[in-house]
Amino acid sequence: MPQNKDTGAEGNRFGRDCGKKIATLLKATKLNTTSNECEFNGQRVVIKCARVKTNSVAVTHRMLEGLQAVLGVFQQEDGSYTVFRLPTEVYRTNMRLTPSRGASEGQVNRSVFEQHGTGLGVFRVS
């Protein structure tokens, strides 16, 4: 189903809320209130969350420039979330452009995080 203004806004709310909760569980320090950029284990990262039926996450090219890694958070069928750390070099190598009209974004599939990322654990988010 294509995204519209309402579903896009809901996805944005979900991502920010889920990212904030995952940051707390990982003991990552949020760097601002406008994104899920954090300091995690001495590195600048962004936390990107996907619901169970979503198979990719996207990061703008501009944001990617200042990061050491992307933390991909993927909801599982049982409602838990699996978190993977993917270095920006690997993210950049595997990204494809999105149809976004704003700042150009690059999407990376869940399978790339699973195959090339480092698993950080499975979490329950309430």
Task: Give the chain's domain count.
Answer: 1
Distance of CA 85 to the CA centre of its chain: 10
Q: Which residue has the tokens 């969350």?
A: 49
pLDDT bin (cut points 50, 70, 90) of residue 11 is: confident
Percent of the chain surpassing pLDDT 70: 88
Work out the mean pLDDT of the chain and round it to a whole number. 90
Phi-psi sector, 89: left (phi>0), alpha (psi -120 to 50), beta: alpha
Query: Residue 71 maps to which CATH number?
Result: 3.40.210.10
Write out the residue range of the structural domain in which residue 88 sits: 5-123
- Say if CB 18 and CB 81 are below 8 A apart: yes
The stretch 59-74 carries a mean pLDDT of 94
The pTM of this model reads 0.89
Alpha-carbon separation of residue 26 from 22, 29, 34, 41, 103 (angstroms): 6, 9, 19, 9, 28
